[in-house]
Amino acid sequence: MNKEITDILIIGAGPSGTIAAGYLEKKEVSVLVVEKEQFPRFTIGESLIPRVMDNLAEAGLLDTVKKQQYQKKFGARFIRGSEEAWFDFSKKYGKGWDWTWQVPRDHFDHTLALAIEEREVPIWYQAEVLQVHRTEEGWEVLIHHNGIQKTVFCRFIIDASGNGRVLARQLELEAPAKIEDHSSVFTQISEVSRPAGPEGEQISFEILNQRTWFWYIPFSNGNSSLGFVAPNQWFEQFSKNTSEAFQEMLEQTAYYKGRFDQDPIIFEPIKIQNISKNVSSLCGKGFALTGNSAEFLDPVFSSGVAFATESGLLAAKLAFRELQGEVVNWETEYSEYIRSGVKVFSTYVKAWYDGRLQRIFFSKYQNEQIKEQICAVLAGYVWDKSNPFVRNHERLVNNVALLAES
């Protein structure tokens, strides 16, 4: 049997894994990335938020992504009937990036992975982690790679396996989801009749009802991503055939109805049932869970890749310090930090679905200062405690929603 030794094993070459690898390569740590699929591979999560830019930069990956000429994203538009709410990242509270990108993830993730390989970090594709076993010195990891079983010995595991949830499953860390019963159906189209200007460039969310919404994400390659998120039950009213069902769903939109009738679908719509995921613990002796393998709430504010990169980067920094012989308090420095950001976002996601945030967004009386502070949260700056809408997220969202009602 084949044996390999590395200091840090990263499971998964999505953005969480490659960001971690990018940071560790800069620190000259020995790293191996193992990835179950062959890249490029499709995955969902195409709208970034500005905080991702900071993380890409710190891992030395921003310049590579800049060269790809992805569609720039300057904010987000929410549509409800004849009402529109536009959040402009250049008008957000505090410091930070005021733009980012909308990316086809197969291309984006492949770009990051190639950049990592160019920096001589090995990535094994078609390498699936089957089993992990804790030893005195670290871990013994059984991997199925190109038809061969291999064992990798490592001191630390960063589990960035997304929905593979490798360590969550093997170490029995799975926990009940924070948002139940939400599913999504999505596809991409070749948008032959795309309108010129912002209408065909900016990401938009159309609200069908308080708990059901549609996304439109145009890419610079002429394709666009379309998707619906709703309670599981909402999807039951449509045809069994997914393409027909998707057309029926589009018929239920008001703003976009008819707009994509001439645009060929690129792949059969995909359904993901129960999208929210959670774990009982984000780390333990010799391992950290990052990105979706740790936790995923809901796509409504496009926060997934921001959390994936934030947690991947932080886990890499702390693992590096630990390898240097420092004592790291993973509970406070990792879990508490990540969970504090998740908590802020959870408040906004919950307030979205119970209607409070929609009342704030579409209120006739907009207070610019409040809007800027909420905009910074939507940009992913959820660790900036100088922002009252981060510091006192629950109370302020509540109070402003009450005012918006009156």
Ligand X SMILES: Cc1cc2nc3c(=O)[nH]c(=O)nc-3n(C[C@H](O)[C@H](O)[C@H](O)COP(=O)(O)OP(=O)(O)OC[C@H]3O[C@@H](n4cnc5c(N)ncnc54)[C@H](O)[C@@H]3O)c2cc1C
Q: Does 166 bind ligand X (CB under 6 A)?
A: yes
Residue of 188, 212, 292, 363 interacting with ligand X (CB under 6 A): 292
Closest separation in Å from C-beta 315 to ligand X: 11
Q: Does 14 bind ligand X (CB under 6 A)?
A: yes
- Candidates 7-15, 24-32, 66-74, 389-397: pick the segment binding ligand X (CB under 6 A): 7-15
- Candidates 65-73, 236-244, 304-312, 355-363: pick the segment binding ligand X (CB under 6 A): 304-312
Closest separation in Å from C-beta 86 to ligand X: 18
Q: Which is nearer to ligand X, 109 or 370 (CB)?
A: 109
Q: Does 88 bind ligand X (CB under 6 A)?
A: no
Residue of 112, 304, 349, 393 interacting with ligand X (CB under 6 A): 304
Query: What φ, ψ does residue 224 adopt, rounded to 5°?
Result: -135, 150
Closest separation in Å from C-beta 319 to ligand X: 16
Closest separation in Å from C-beta 345 to ligand X: 11
Residue of 7, 58, 128, 322 interacting with ligand X (CB under 6 A): 128
Residue of 6, 9, 20, 45 interacting with ligand X (CB under 6 A): 45
Residues 6+ apart with CB under 8 A from 134: 285, 286
Q: Which is nearer to ligand X, 313 or 400 (CB)?
A: 313
Residue of 111, 184, 347, 363 interacting with ligand X (CB under 6 A): 184
Q: Does 43 bind ligand X (CB under 6 A)?
A: yes
- 365 to 394, contacts with ligand X by CB under 6 A? none
Residue of 9, 129, 297, 376 interacting with ligand X (CB under 6 A): 129
Residue matched to tokens 């500005």: 50
- Pairing relation of β-strands 83-88 and 139-145? unpaired
Q: Which is nearer to ligand X, 184 or 212 (CB)?
A: 184
Closest separation in Å from C-beta 299 to ligand X: 3
Q: Provide the CA 181 distance to its chain's centre, in angstroms.
A: 19
Identify which of 253, 274, 250 has the alpha carbon closest to the alpha carbon of residue 182.
274
How far, in Å, CA of 371 to CA of 111, rounded? 35
- Candidates 41-49, 247-255, 323-331, 340-348: pick the segment binding ligand X (CB under 6 A): 41-49
Q: Which is nearer to ligand X, 17 or 138 (CB)?
A: 17
Specify the DSSP element, H or E, that contains 78. Answer: strand 75-80
Other Cβ atoms within 10 Å of 62 Cβ, number? 15
Specify the DSSP element, H or E, that contains 100. Answer: strand 100-102
Q: Which is nearer to ligand X, 46 or 206 (CB)?
A: 46
- Candidates 83-91, 112-120, 156-164, 326-334: pick the segment binding ligand X (CB under 6 A): 156-164
Q: Which is nearer to ligand X, 152 or 396 (CB)?
A: 152
Torsion angle of the four alpha carbons 359, 364, 365, 369, in this order, in degrees rounded to the nearest 10: 70
Q: Is 110 helix (H, G, I), strand (E, B) or coil?
A: helix
Strands (E), 135-234: 139-145, 148-159, 174-175, 182-190, 204-209, 212-218, 223-231
- Candidates 70-78, 232-240, 302-310, 397-405: pick the segment binding ligand X (CB under 6 A): 302-310
Other Cβ atoms within 10 Å of 197 Cβ, number? 8
Q: Does 279 bind ligand X (CB under 6 A)?
A: no
Other Cβ atoms within 10 Å of 195 Cβ, number? 11
Q: Does 275 bind ligand X (CB under 6 A)?
A: yes
Q: Does 35 bind ligand X (CB under 6 A)?
A: yes
Number of alpha carbons in the 13 Å side-chain half-sphere of residue 337: 18
Triad 165, 168, 172: Cα angle to 5°: 145
Closest separation in Å from C-beta 392 to ligand X: 25
How far, in Å, CA of 200 to CA of 109, rounded? 24
Residues 6+ apart with CB under 8 A from 129: 11, 34, 36, 141, 142, 143, 161, 164, 166
229 strand-pairing partners: 184, 213
Q: Which is nearer to ligand X, 99 or 359 (CB)?
A: 99
Residues that bind ligand X (CB under 6 A): 11-17, 34-37, 43-48, 128-129, 160-164, 166, 184, 186, 227, 272, 275, 291-292, 296, 299, 302, 304-306, 308
